[in-house]
A and B are shown apart, each in its own frame.
Chain A
Amino acid sequence: MAVNQGLSHLSDHFLMITLVLYFLAVLAFAADFAFGKRSSAEPAEAAVPELVTAGAAGAGTAGATAGPAAGPAQASAADLGGAKASGGTGRPAAASRPSLRDASLWVRAGLGLTVLGVIAHIAGVVIRGLAVHRVPWGDMYEFVIAVTCVAVLFFLGLMFRYRPYRLGLFFMAPIVIIIGLAQTVIYTPAGPLVPALNSYWLAIHVTAITLATGTYVVAAVLAVVYLFADRHTRRVAAGLPVRNGEVFRLLPSPERLDQFAYRTVVFAFPLWTFGIMAGAIWADEAWGRYWGWDPTETWAFITWVVYACFLHARVTAGWRGRRAAYIQLVGFGCLLFNLLGVSLFITGLHSYAGLS
């Protein structure tokens, strides 16, 4: 079927709008670090210590669900204050979580822009799919756009579920860079699929890989922030001089970041496993073998093994914490190498990038 050029251009416009909105969101999140404290005289002040203690062990949520009097012993005044707000009913209430209203104006602006951006992002992806009459992740450009869309959606989920608002900057900055590069360096006009990709397994295999990759992006950002936060905490504990202490005070605790990262990988790993399996079934359908050590397959396997290492390391004494985070980043490095290095520089059966 012919490509609908009008829709294809419309998709490009939406994705351009997405980039602008995300960029503004980054500015807003950055502004929060720069001016956030001064600008919000109202409840935001209370929200700051609350975020920190909530970070310690999810005490905020525990306090909320157990009712006011059951509030954790070491909960801060802010936390109890929040709990009291919901007290009296004795019912679990979300009110004592760091609420959106407690966040600074800048954070709210950043989140709002991100939400608008992701709507434009989804529209861009969907319209591209309508333009080409297939799932819109058939070449490298489409894949990167879809992966970033998943990453932003997952990040927003994390934001609204656990509210570590100040991670916004660290998420959205790389996303903006990736999308910017995608639109300038690897942009590919909408087109039909080569026969090798013309299968419903494209929808299954690549969708799973896209979802997993987008989620791994989130986990990798969390690991990097964790490593910095952990280093900061150690230096403080050891009485060493620290820089940017203010920034780290506003971030979730290292333990919390580690837990976020782990949950994210736990979400992505089965998807990745399923993606590889679906790929194997497709390979069997297309090439007559379910596994052939094609470079892309090999690196998908290596990535799988390294993330499996991460999952095991995190439950093995002596490997937790920093080492596990480094392993996770190595896994993400393998993922990136597979996406960029193998697709672009090594010729294999998966050379579909649409780039030459």
Chain B
Amino acid sequence: MTETSRMTETGAAAAEAGQQAAAPPEPTPPPPGPAYGVLGWLRWGWRQLTSMRTALILLFLLAVASVPGSLLPQQGIDPAAVQQYYASHPGLAPWLARLSLFNVFAAPWFAAIYLLLFLSLAGCVVPRAYRLARSARALPPPAPRNVARMPQSVRHQTGQDAAAALAAATAVLRRRKFRLRTGDGWVSAEKGYRRELGNLLFHLALLGLLGAVALGGLFGYKANRLLVSGTSFANTVTALDEFHPGRLVSSADLQPFTITLNRFAASYVRSGQLRGQPTSFNAYLSYSAQPGAANQRYDLRVNHPLNVDGVKVYLIGHGYAPVFKVTDGTGKVVYDQPVPFIAVNTSGLTSEGVVKVPDAKPDQLGFAGVFLPTAVDTGGTLESVFPAPLNPRVSLISYKGNLGMNSGPSQSVYALNTAGLTELPVAPRPLAPGQSIKLPGGAGTLTFTGYRQWASLAITYDPGQLPALIAGLAALAGLLLSFFIRRRRMFVRAYPGPGDRTVVDVGGLARSDPAGGFDEEFSRLAEEFRVAYAGETSEGKTD
């Protein structure tokens, strides 16, 4: 009974140490000498890697390594914030980038930590799974010679003979669903194998979770598309604003659906302290799953995604797209369309955007604008005080010259390259819908004809979703099993005592009981024995 020898003053903790003997325990093996050879070194390294101490350190490292990912802007989450960081910390940013600190969760060193951790986990769990499978039918060990030396023990005396007392105790244990082994004058019993099963299930499920994440990373994709009311798009790479395919995804794998945004509606709290807080967003869509398929309608909301053949479409953003009509110097209408503006604050949805008119003659025209849904004059400056369009205004700065769209790097549609442009001296008068600016020098006219709303959609496909859910549930089930089941053994020895009495020694041992509580169960069982063979207690102890 190695477990007994491990028992020290803190029974519960030591019992757990006995269980941990399954995993390679401390102290670690002596450092390898030259006699080890390659194989010896490998074995030593493997043993180190799969030790609990290494696993603990790796777990800690994983936690610490995640921290910068939450404190620094991340490329995968908010690329604009990364750009901003570059602008404000030009010296530091390139160094951080070299250390993958803007992409922590895809960094090689982050991967190294979790792969080592999972390797360590596998190295610990797989052998234990073997052992568990073998022990599935194994009997508990024979009762020790001196049962009273168990951490929990009690001595009873009874008038029944030894065989009858043992039979009575055995009946109790059987009723309690212990696994039994009987011998000459003793019974040993064990229960709680499912604890180890739960423990293994939990750790294997974590490995499964990693696999599910990998599956999504290889075969899934993510995309974004901004859609102005009244327009549509088809799910092709060229029609998407952003496309992040998994490693094994090609553009041919995109599901060929088409989506039209018929109307977007938002509602807000209209009064009180929370005035302006949104209460609902609805994007009324119609879509067809593939070319030629019937058109279906869908009311897309936050928390209410659309599922088209396993691909999910989410509402992730919204805003205003003012509509501008531009007549150039030659009197020709060269521009008449909505332009999505991006909100720069959430309380009043003040939005910014640019209008680029490359076809204007004689000079190209450009405008940088601010859209205010509910414009209010606050001491000389206009501000939007409410997100709904109660008093929409646009104020613009006008430019003419060269937009620089035919040369140089590709431009953002939300920014104006003013290098080749000159600002036109136009009185800064905010426009109401229907109003126009006449540009000086016969450069043309711009009319703010109205506005529409836009919705931005996220399109994702992740085949690892369901496996991840299953792995997560399995991990939870394993966790509960391993926490709330304790593995314990009971031993009973009966032998003739003074007079014609029989002495019954009852001992108990929790092989894993870190939460404590076996002492109570032991007392309860011993009491049941005592009642079963009508004995009385002569001495007992609990550690």
Contacts and interface: CB of A to CB of B under 8 A. Distances in A.
B234 to A, nearest CB: 19
B527 interface: yes
A232 interface: no
Contacts of A294: 77
A255 B55 CA distance: 26
A255 B302 CA distance: 50
Contacts of B527: 65-67, 70, 92
B74 A74 contact: no
B182 interface: no
Interface stretch (B126-134, B390-398, B517-525): B517-525
Interface string B394-415: 0000000000000000000000
A318 B520 CA distance: 27
B273 A277 contact: no
A211 to B, nearest CB: 15
Interface in B499-543: 514-517, 519-520, 522-524, 526-527, 530-531, 536-537, 539-543
A259 B516 contact: yes
Nearest to A356: B347
A298 B70 contact: yes
A221 interface: no
A74 B542 CA distance: 9
A281 B523 contact: no
Given A66-B527, A69-B536, A309 B59 contact: yes
A70 B504 CA distance: 13
B309 interface: no
B20 A315 contact: yes
Contact of B520 (A62, A195, A288): A62
Contacts of A196: 302-303
Contacts of B17: 315, 317
Contacts of A237: none
Given A66-B526, A293-B105, A285 B303 contact: yes
B274 A189 contact: yes
A301 to B, nearest CB: 6
Nearest to A259: B516
Contact of A312 (B56, B303, B462): B56
B424 interface: no
A319 interface: yes
Contacts of B281: 195
Interface in B450-485: 458-460, 462, 465, 468-469, 472-473, 475-476, 479-480, 483-484
Contacts of A67: 527, 530, 537
A62 B303 contact: no
Given A72-B542, A73-B540, A66 B269 contact: no
B71 interface: yes
Contacts of B280: 195, 198
B10 to A, nearest CB: 6
Contact of B541 (A73, A298, A313, A316): A73
A288 B301 contact: no
Contacts of B537: 66-67, 69-70
A305 B62 contact: yes
B26 interface: yes
Interface stretch (A33-41, A118-126, A142-150, A266-274): A266-274
Interface in B299-317: 301-305, 312, 314, 316
B333 interface: no
B19 interface: yes
Contacts of A263: 515-516
Nearest to A195: B302
A289 B462 CA distance: 8
B186 to A, nearest CB: 21
Interface string B1-45: 000000000111100110110000110000000000000000000
Contact of A290 (B76, B277, B465): B465
Interface residues of B, number: 83
A286 B21 CA distance: 45
Contacts of B473: 277
Contacts of B458: 287-288
B26 A318 contact: yes
Given A66-B540, A293-B105, A277 B472 contact: yes
B316 A287 contact: yes
Nearest to A256: B516
Contact of B314 (A287, A295, A334): A287
A316 B56 contact: yes
B63 interface: yes
Contacts of B53: 316, 318-319
Interface stretch (A9-17, A53-61, A99-107, A167-175): A53-61
A196 B315 CA distance: 10
A24 interface: no
A286 B523 contact: no
A200 to B, nearest CB: 9
A250 interface: no
A191 B476 CA distance: 34
B109 to A, nearest CB: 15
A309 B54 CA distance: 11
Q: Most B CB atoms within 10 A — which of A263, A273, A290, A292? A: A290
Interface in A285-342: 285-295, 298-299, 301-302, 305-306, 308-309, 312-320, 334, 342
B52 interface: yes
A356 B305 CA distance: 29
Given A191-B273, A191-B277, A201-B303, A92 B515 contact: no
Contacts of A58: 516-517, 519-520
Contacts of A71: 540
B494 to A, nearest CB: 17
Nearest to A69: B537
Q: Most A CB atoms within 10 A — which of B272, B480, B515? A: B515
A316 B59 CA distance: 14
A92 B258 CA distance: 71
A308 B516 contact: no
A77 B62 CA distance: 51
Nearest to B469: A281
A334 B60 CA distance: 13
B77 A293 contact: yes
A288 B71 contact: no
B155 to A, nearest CB: 10
A218 to B, nearest CB: 15
Contacts of B105: 293
B222 interface: yes
Contacts of B66: 293, 298, 301-302, 305
A72 B540 contact: yes
A70 B540 contact: yes
B540 A194 contact: no
B142 interface: no
Nearest to B206: A308
B278 interface: yes
Nearest to A59: B542
A2 to B, nearest CB: 9
Contacts of B62: 305
Contacts of A312: 52, 55-56, 59
B378 interface: no
A280 interface: yes
B479 A66 contact: no
B279 A192 contact: yes
Nearest to B282: A195
A338 to B, nearest CB: 9
Top 3 A-B pairs ranked by shortest CB distance?
A199-B303, A66-B523, A298-B70
Given A69-B536, A192-B277, A315-B16, 4 more contacts: A194-B278, A195-B301, A255-B10, A285-B305
20 contacts: A57-B11, A58-B519, A59-B542, A66-B524, A66-B537, A70-B154, A191-B272, A192-B277, A192-B279, A194-B278, A198-B303, A255-B10, A259-B12, A259-B515, A262-B515, A289-B222, A305-B59, A305-B60, A306-B60, A315-B19
